[in-house]
Amino acid sequence: MIQAFLQRLARWLDRPLFPWKKFVVGFSLAEFTLSSWLLWRQYGYLQKKTVPKALEKEIDQQTFDKSQAYGRAKAKYSFFSGLFNQLKSIAVLHFNVYPIVWAFAGSLVARYAPARFSGGITQSLLFVYLFGLIDLACGIPWSYYHSFVLEEKFGFNKMTVKLWLTDMLKSQALTIAFGIPIGSAFLSIIKATGDSFFYYLWVFMLMVQIAAMTIYPVLIVPMFNKLEPLKPGKLKESVEALAAKLKFPLSELQVIDGSKRSSHSNAYFTGLPWIGKKKIVIFDTLLEKSSEKEVEAVLAHELGHWQKNHTSRLLFISQAHLFYIFALFSVFIHNRSLYADFGFRTERPVLIGFLLFNEILSPTDSIVKLLLNMWTRSMEFEADAFAVDLGYAAELGASLVKLQIQNLSTMDADWLYSSFHYSHPILTERLKAMKWKGDRKIIADKSADEQKPVVAADREL
Cite the active site residues: 302, 384
| Annotated binding residues | 301, 305, 380
Residue 229: which residues within 8 A CB-CB, separation 6 or more? 252, 253, 254, 255
Count the Cβ atoms, other than its own, within 10 Å of residue 395. 21
Q: Alpha-carbon distance 265 to 49, whole Å?
A: 27
| Annotated binding residues for Zn(2+) | 301, 305, 380
> Position 149: which residue type?
V
Residue 67: which of 81, 50, 82 has the closest Cα? 50
Q: Alpha-carbon distance 282 to 374, whole Å?
A: 27
Q: Alpha-carbon distance 450 to 75, whole Å?
A: 26
Count the Cβ atoms, other than its own, within 10 Å of residue 324. 15
Strands 267-270 and 278-283: antiparallel
The enclosing H or E element of 280 equals strand 278-283
CB 286 within 8 A of CB 387: no
Question: Could you say which DSSP state residue 253 is in?
Answer: E
Q: Alpha-carbon distance 332 to 335, whole Å?
A: 5
Q: In what order do the strands lie in the sheet with 267-270?
A: 227-229, 250-256, 278-283, 267-270
CB 117 within 8 A of CB 125: no
Residue 248: which of 286, 278, 225, 220 has the closest Cα? 278
Residue 396: which residues within 8 A CB-CB, separation 6 or more? 294, 297, 298, 300, 301, 384, 387, 388, 434, 436
